[in-house]
Amino acid sequence: MTRNNHTTADNRPSEPRADTHSDIASTGQSTANQDDVVTLAHGAGGEAMRSLVDTLAVSRFADGSSADTAGAVGLAALDDGSVHPLPGTDISIVLTTDSHIVTPPTFPGGDIGRLSVAGTVNDLAVMGVTDPLALTCGLVVEEGTPTAELDRFLESMRESAVEAGVDITTGDTKVMGAGELDGIVLNTTGVGTIPTSEVVTGAGLSPGDAIVLSGTVGDHGIALLAEREGFDFGANLESDVAPINGLVAAATDAGRVTAMTDPTRGGLATALNEMAEKAGVGLEIEEQAIPVDDAIASAGEVLGIDPLSVANEGKVVFGVHSDDADSVLAALREQPLGSNAAIIGQVISDHPGRVVLDTGFGNRYLSEPTGEALPRIC
């Protein structure tokens, strides 16, 4: 059961963001202040994290890289993966990596093992790779961790990899001293191939495209917070963590998908803002059309957390050519993971780089979160 009306806190239009990357690119140098320190906000998605990555990583690694070649997608795109066309062919390699640390490591609906496989499979999927070639497993574990716990997480990885149809083929293991690491960190890298013409990014939106959401939002972040803090809301709150490559395949087979991303850190609000900014278009979103589970919406209101701004681990935001929106929606709803899919808005030429939320009572800008609300949930 879902509820399609919920409240949000921010009713103020946001100030335009500074074009940090352009500023850096123009100087070719990092602008980091030596007195600044990394905070949890820098790991929560949204503006703070993008600014940190722009300042420290993109400015160093992106300039003059091989991703400047035609058809390539490199670090500067800040997409879900990189794309590397193979010379003399129409095939591209797609590469992505993700590190996972979460408290608690076992949560309703999943655990860190399932999260680590789903996260990387999903990053490949939203670039168009629905049949990934292989994954790696980088394991960093704290001394004193019960081997039975580690066994359970690695078995969860195996089961999730089978579900996604991918093999885990290589890896690395490090053990840290007691107190040097809070539990376990899992890094997974994924690789796949795809015809270059079929690569999809988060930047492909055009005015007139429909925005389609594959299901309810807020499930993962709010379920984890409730479990971590021991809150009992009288309902079964579960993470949505799952590999969604099959779901994406159903959508891309049904119609012209112009852009994709998975709304993980920073949630739907960040995903929509990033897609609008990358494509230089505006998004007009109907708040009442966004599917939010009743229990998640109620828990979010009690906790003071907007389900639109917390992570999801089994959802996709699609840009779809308007002529194909109904067929893509129908295909998604035939899939178990897409039964609550909905068309939530459209791409417009006004308000470039911004997301206009129609609340049913008026319009406001939907801003992405700027701080850290729920640390270590993906």
Q: Give phi and psi for 51, each to the nearest 5.
A: -65, -45
Alpha-carbon gap, residue 226 to 223, rounded angstroms: 5
The Cα-based distances of 161 to 156, 173, 325, 345 in angstroms read 9, 19, 30, 33
Which tens digits make up the pLDDT trace of 153-197? 999 999 999 999 999 999 999 999 999 988 899 999 999 999 999
- Mind listing the pLDDT tens digit for each residue in 261-278? 999 988 999 999 999 999
Which burial class, exposed, middle or buried, applies to 38 when counting CB atoms under 10 A from its CB (0-12, 13-18, 19+)? exposed
The amino acid at residue 185 is: V
User: What is the mean pLDDT of the segment spanning 239-245?
Assistant: 97
Answer whether residue 375 shows pLDDT above 70: no
The answer to whether the beta carbons of residues 332 and 341 sit under 8 Å apart is yes
pTM of the model: 0.86
CB–CB of 152/112 below 8 Å?
no
Q: So what's the pLDDT on residue 70?
A: 77
Q: Report phi then psi at 348, rounded to 5.
A: -125, 160
What confidence tier does 64 reach under pLDDT thresholds 50, 70, 90? low
> d(Cα 245, Cα 378) in Å, to the nearest integer?
18
Residue 362: CB atoms within 10 Å: 8
| Interacting residues of 168 by C-beta distance below 8 A, sequence separation 6+ | 117, 134, 135, 136, 137, 157, 158, 161, 188
* Residue type, position 345, single letter: G
* Confidence band of 90 (pLDDT split at 50, 70, 90): very high
Cα-based distances in Å from 180 to 148, 149, 173, 184? 21, 18, 15, 11
pLDDT score at 368: 84
3 state SS of 101: coil
Tally the residues of the chain: 378
Average pLDDT of the segment spanning 21-50: 60
Q: What is the pLDDT of residue 160?
A: 98
State yes or no: cis peptide before 104, omega within 30 of 0: yes
Greater confidence, 34 or 18?
34
Instruction: Name the burial class of residue 336, with classes exposed (0-12), middle (13-18) and buried (19+) by CB atoms within 10 angstroms of its CB.
Output: exposed
User: Taking the chain, what is the end-to-end CA distance rounded to the nearest angstrom?
Assistant: 25
Give the Cα separation of 12 and 15 in Å (integer). 9
The answer to whether the beta carbons of residues 247 and 328 sit under 8 Å apart is: no
pLDDT at 290 over 70: yes
Confidence of residue 13 (pLDDT cuts 50, 70, 90): very low
Q: How far apart are CA 223 and CA 232, in angstroms?
A: 10
Residue 78: the pLDDT is 84
* Torsion region of 218: left, alpha or beta (phi above 0 gives left; psi -120 to 50 gives alpha): left
Strands 106-107 and 110-111: antiparallel
Establish how many alpha carbons lie within 13 A of residue 211's alpha carbon, considering only the half-sphere containing its beta carbon: 29
Nearest to 370 by CA among 273, 276, 226, 241: 273
Strands 355-358 and 282-286: parallel
Residue that wins the pLDDT comparison between 357 and 23: 357
Token digits of residue 296 = 């998640």
Domains of the chain, earliest start first: 72-195 (3.30.1330.10), 209-365 (3.90.650.10)
Helix ranges restricted to H, the chain = 20-27, 46-53, 59-61, 112-125, 147-164, 219-229, 245-254, 267-279, 294-303, 325-333
